[in-house]
Amino acid sequence: MLTRAPRHPDSLHSPENHTVMPVPSQLLFLPGASGSTAFWQPLAGLLEHPAERRIVGYPGFGDTPRDPAVDDFDSLVRHVLETIDRPTAVVAQSMGGVIAMRAALDKPELITHLVLTVTSGGLDMAGLGAQNWRTGFAEANPQLPDWFLTFRADLSQEISRIAQPTLLLWGDDDPISPVAAGRRLLERLPDAQLHVVPGGRHDLAAVHAATLAPLVDAHLQRG
């Protein structure tokens, strides 16, 4: 059942279960399909949490050179998992959110917290009213790997096993990942909070970094 979080009137909290997690010593930032490592720099710089920051680039995306070992989505997930060798909180946007959830499933002993912004979360976005953006994005970014157009991540059967405290950050003006997706994840995740930013779009985390930083810091203090 959804209840109002006391400090943020436009936040929702699903406290069905709460697992006590260790304090993260690494904050791992995962971009969306743009692969832009600059995307997370504003928020990373505003956070007060003392953990080391690490912003991951995806081989073949953005300015990150291709890697022959990364030739599909599963190998990209493995590439990211190699960076997780200590208690880690993962902060992820869009496509990165699916990778973050895979990390939580594959390395539950090391993933302490999740912060997911405007992501599909491995759900069927077409059924949630999302705009079909991938083809146009690939046409505008022809350097993207071929597999980007065809991969589909379905985590619908695994979501309920993600026990880490999860902060869901959405904007109410995002046709790519509408608030309905955040609400669906809120229903499925055992320990999640949803915060909706008025006027927020798909670049929510970069444009509204100053608004989101206190929410993320508070979330990372949850034990």
pLDDT in tens, 95-121: 999 999 999 999 999 999 999 999 988
As a whole number, the mean pLDDT across the chain is 88
Torsional class of 157: left (φ above 0), alpha (ψ -120 to 50), beta (otherwise): alpha
- Dihedral of alpha carbons 39, 46, 94, 127, sign: negative
Residue 31, pLDDT > 80, answer: yes
SS3 174: coil
CATH number at residue 77: 3.40.50.1820
Read off the pLDDT of residues 70-92 as tens digits, 9 standing for 90 and up: 999 999 999 999 999 999 999 99
Say how far apart CA 105 and CA 114 lie, in whole Å: 12
Q: What is the DSSP letter of 107?
A: -
| Number of domains comprising the chain | 1
Q: Are 120 and 221 in contact (CB under 8 A)?
A: no
pLDDT at 129: 67
Q: Which domain holds residue 102?
A: 3-220
pLDDT at 17: 54
Say how far apart CA 81 and CA 99 lie, in whole Å: 9
Q: Are 190 and 166 in contact (CB under 8 A)?
A: no
Q: Where are the beta strands (DSSP E) in 31-180?
A: 52-55, 88-93, 111-117, 166-171
Say how far apart CA 43 and CA 27 lie, in whole Å: 11
Say how far apart CA 84 and CA 110 lie, in whole Å: 7
Please name the residues in contact with 45: beta carbons below 8 A apart, sequence gap of 6 or more: none
145 vs 166, higher pLDDT: 166
* Residue 134: pLDDT band with limits 50, 70, 90: low
pLDDT at 20: 66
Please name the residues in contact with 80: beta carbons below 8 A apart, sequence gap of 6 or more: 28, 30, 56, 99, 103
Q: Are 217 and 47 in contact (CB under 8 A)?
A: yes
Q: Average of pLDDT values for 121-128?
A: 75
Alpha-carbon distances of 51 from 31, 32, 47, 89, 109, rounded to whole Å = 19, 22, 10, 9, 17
Measured in whole angstroms, how far is the alpha carbon of residue 185 from the centre of its chain? 12
Helix 73-81, helix 95-106: angle, nearest 10? 60
With a pLDDT cut of 90, the percent of the chain lying above it is 70
